[in-house]
Structure 1
């Protein structure tokens, strides 16, 4: 015999926390993600090092405030894309280490996204500085 629920479950009920408590936990999980990327992803560490050079350089460059903001934003976008790429790779590896065409496609597309993001950094910086 099948039992039915009287109240349907919704996404908010599954999350459990609300208000400031939810915000604190969200920030905590975000910091855990950054820590995991720093500890386990060489590409992310390399991008952080690049960011530590480029972001201060943006403040030293003789550019407008809007140009400076764009120069910093594209560097941050590259960091975001690398975090997402690493998340895709981790999810695929969680499923299986076996070589599968769909796994390869997902990982290659994540890598391509990072390539495009880095090309965008180079293009924006060159266009603004030259």
Structure 2
């Protein structure tokens, strides 16, 4: 039996549906993703006020998306680790800790970029 994959628009359509399904699952099952989503939505209008150029606006919005991306990847890591087993495993714990550290760094990047652009706006 030969299985053929969708191509063209059909492939794009299915990929988009799977992506939306993943975002919905993260929102429903992960409190951190919900909090970060609401924070991003609250900060989005502020980005338009804070930014003094298109580049700054792009950076501000990109940092908000970066946090969400890192949280999705962290959630994916946790799901795979949890699927592998419930017993304690040093490598499993390390994988979860590293995913969490990635989220933390994305939050720090966001704070630095927003802080720097706010500083320029308020002092310039």
Which structure 2 residue ranges, 5 or more long, are not aligned?
120-124
Alignment match of 2:93 (pick from 104, 112, 115): 104
Q: 2:23 matched to which residue of 1?
A: 34
Q: 1:41 to 1:122 in 2, by over 3 A?
A: same
Q: Residue 116 of structure 1 is aligned with which of 100, 105, 108?
A: 105
Task: Report SS of the residue matched to 1:63.
Answer: coil
TM-score norm. by structure 1 comes to 0.86
Hey, what's the Cα distance between the residues in 2 that align with 1:80 and 1:115? 12
Specify the structure having the higher radius of gyration (Cα). 1
2:7 paired residue number? 18
Equivalent of 2:80, from 91, 99, 105?
91
Q: Which range moves more in the overlay, 119-128 or 17-26?
A: 17-26
Q: 1:119 to 1:15 in 2, by over 3 A?
A: farther
Query: Structure 2 residue aligned with 1:67, among 52, 56, 67?
Result: 56
Which structure has greater helix proportion?
2
**How many angstroms does 1:14 deviate by?**
6.0
Question: Equivalents in 2 of 1:56, 1:102: separation in Å?
Answer: 41
With normalisation by structure 2, the TM-score equals 0.90
Per mean C-alpha deviation after superposition, the further-off stretch among 54-63 and 94-103 is 54-63
Moved over 6 A (4+): none
Structure 1 unmatched ranges of 5 or more: 1-12
Q: Per-residue deviation at 1:60?
A: 1.7
